[in-house]
Every structure is written in structure tokens, then in C-alpha cells.
Amino acid sequence: MKRNLRVADFELGPHAPRVTSIQAYPEASGEDSVLMDVTIALQSPVTAIGSGSDRTLNTHFLITAFVGAPQLGGVTVPILVEQAAFEAKARVHIVLSPKAPFAKELRVSLLSKPFIDVAIRPLKLVNLMNLPILSRFILSSMDAVITQTAVTPNVVSLDLETLLTGKEVSYDVRAIGVAEIRLHESTDLRKADIMSENDTYAAISIGASRILAKSRIINNSPHPIWEETHFVLVSEDDVKIGSNLSITLFDYDVMTKDDRLGEVNIPITKLVDSTGLVSSGCLEVHAESPGRLWADVLFHPKACTKQEKEENRIECTCDDELDDNYTSGILAITVHQGLDMMVREKDKSGPYVSPYVFVFLNDRKVFQTRTKHHNPTPYWNADVELFVRDWTSTKVLVEVRDERAHEVSGCLELV
């Protein structure tokens, strides 16, 4: 059953917990720390844990449950797990500092297992499963996780100095450069369809991540010719874990899963170490029946400003300095949160909006956040980095939409 459940989202909700008691230990604290026992409790209003459409959302998890057999198929059901009541006693140790913000570290350890009560509701289908059994399973899972991570002798530590001052907040992008892939043509690929030739396209990815770029489909051709150029960002994490840049060839099928024809793998370390042209010409396609792919792969490291080089703030791998002649670059967008979202008229979806955000680059959708169900004050903190070929002619559109049941999502805001 654990494999059929997945936590898709988490929200703190509008109701703050109350501190019901504090007991300090001055003698044990010392001059540079504060030691105390704190009891916190959260009791949601009765209207918040009811099943009516007027309810508000408490602290909650959004869990997706797969119902059915993996071999035969099934349906994914979103389930809202609201925290109706919570009480815990914790030992809090605050390490002080003579410099602002005067608090260096926070250490928290629960003295015993907390009391937790939850309310569970499917968001789409009702009476689909035995909710009492599911409730006990979720509570036991939460108890196990909390006991293993936060109950004494385990300690949860937070770096307050960094959180309060933002000292180590990075204002630079994560990408260290851009890989340029020029797809020309492919030959000698195995024939996947009996009645016709392959409908071939190429998909570009790094490591086990999702597909980052995809070519157009060349229909019914044993010799697909693309003549396309694609750009994908390379991060420092890709180098550390030893990922590969993969160009995978597929045969597109309308009714069934696309057939994999083969792939070309280039180590990211080789890509980063060989600035400029990395591979060119005929690349062997690894498959049961090897084929050939004609492509050029180049790596362009991120340029540095003159000030960054002088201050040595970041490691510069590019000899060129950034100036006004550069019209291409890496665009970083962070969607933090929304406030005072419009409350719609009561319908089957409830009185509150379920917002999510689209990001468009020159009218092409490039990013989408998660949906925050029934939440007028959503918090996403979702970010994306995109390669921009010419920032002087690039337009960015941010659209906030409301997910609605059995109808087209409504637009709430455009930026």
C-alpha cells in the first residue's frame, strides 16, 4: 500500500498553533544559550474539519492514491489529509550570538510522541475506499517518521543566522553553462512498424530527469532529416553525480507507447571539460540494431562579469567577460506565493480557488507549478531556469489559473 500513496503537496494553513506552556531552565542555559520546554497545540475550528463547502483549509497534506492494479491500470485519486488537532511538548535549545540577529542555531527535540488527529477526504470521488483504515495507516506512518527524526534522542537543528539574515542566499543561477545540440539526420535505424516506416523524433535529457528538449517528428521516413538546434542547461549537480547527456531516438505511435530506437550518451564531465565543440559528425546509436546519428554537440560555459572576476565571487570557466554585446543568457524565474486570491461563487469545487501558475516565453509554455487546492493564499516557492537566445526580443508572461472540476480552468491574473 505504501507504493500506492505519495505526498504531492503540503500547506501550513491559516490557523497558527498556540503555545500553551513554557518552562525555562536558566541554570542549565548558560551565558550563550537558552534552554526551555515548550508545549504547542493546534485545535482547528469545528467548521474547518467539517465536510461542508464552507470549510477553510487547516494544515494539510495532499496525498495521491493509486487505486487499481499496475498491470491492468487504475485511477489516481487526490486525498486531502487535514490536521484537525495537534499537541506536542518539545525541548528547545537556542544558541545565542553577540552579532545580529543574536540567534545562531535552534535545536528542537520532542520529549514524547505528539498527539495528532486528522480528517481525510477524497477531493474527487467519494466512498471510494475505506477511509478509517486509510486514516489509521496515515497516522501510523506519521508517528513512525516523527519518532525516527524528532523524538528524543533525535534532534532537529536549524541555522537561524542563515535563515534570518539570508547570508548564504545565492543570487546566481544554478546552471554552469549551456549544451548546444545540432541535430542533422539519422540512418540505419531498426524498423519499428511493420506496415510503414518509422515516425522518428529525438528526445534530449540529462541523467534521469524529464525530457528537456524534443525534435519534430519526421513521418514515414527511414532517413529522418531534422536540421534543428536545441539548447539545454547544465548544472553543477549534473557534473557531481556523473550524469550523461542523452539523445534518444523514438518511433512515434498514436495508439501505443512510442518505440525506443536507440540512444547516444555523452558524459557531462566530458562536455564541461571540452569547451566548444565536443562531438561532431556521425555518432553511433546504442541499440539492439545499431544505427547512426549525425549531430554536433557543443558546450558554452557561463560568462562572468569583470567585477565577478576581480572579486573572485564565483569560479569562472569562461575566458570571455560579460558585456553589453551578449544578448543570450540564462533567465531564472521564482514563483513565491499568491495573496488574496479571488473567491469564486460556490460550486462543486468549493468556495475557494485552486490556483496554479503558467510561465510563457514568447507565447510558448515553458513551466507550470503545482496546483494548490482550495487555497486563497497559495505558497509555491517554485523556480525554473531557462535559456534565452535574445533577451532584447523575449517576452515573459506569467498566468495564474484556477483549476476547476469538469470545466476549463479560469484565468485569475496575467503579468
The cell for 173 is 543561477
The predicted structure's pLDDT at residue 398 = 92
Nearest to 404 by CA among 334, 355, 337, 336: 355
- 68-77, 88-97, 317-326, 404-413, range with greatest mean pLDDT: 88-97
User: Does 30 score more than 90 pLDDT?
Assistant: no
The predicted structure's pLDDT at residue 349 = 55
The one-letter code for the residue type at 122 is: P
Give, in degrees to the nearest 5, the angle at Cα 231 between 227 and 234.
145
Q: Integer distance in angstroms from the first to the last C-alpha of the chain?
A: 42
Would you call 54 exposed, middle or buried from its count of C-beta atoms within 10 A (0-12, 13-18, 19+)?
Answer: exposed
269-296 confidence digits (pLDDT tens): 888 888 777 777 777 777 666 788 999 9
DSSP 408: P
The predicted structure's pLDDT at residue 24 = 92
pTM of the predicted protein model: 0.65
The fold for domain 175-301 equals Immunoglobulin-like (2.60.40)
The predicted structure's pLDDT at residue 206 = 92
- DSSP structure string for 28-58: HH-TTEEEEEEEEEEE--GGGSSSSTT----
The predicted structure's pLDDT at residue 226 = 95
User: Does 28 score more than 70 pLDDT?
Assistant: yes
Helices (H), 215-281: 236-240, 268-273
Asked whether the domain spanning 329-414 has the same topology as the one spanning 175-301, the reply is: yes
Give the residue extent of every domain in the chain: 2-165, 175-301, 329-414
User: Does 48 score more than 60 pLDDT?
Assistant: no
The predicted structure's pLDDT at residue 128 = 40
Residue 27: φ, ψ to 5°: -70, -35
Pick the CATH number of 329-414 from 3.40.309.10, 3.20.20.450, 2.60.40.150, 2.60.40.1190: 2.60.40.150
Would you call 409 exposed, middle or buried from its count of C-beta atoms within 10 A (0-12, 13-18, 19+)?
Answer: middle
Nearest to 293 by CA among 315, 330, 262: 262
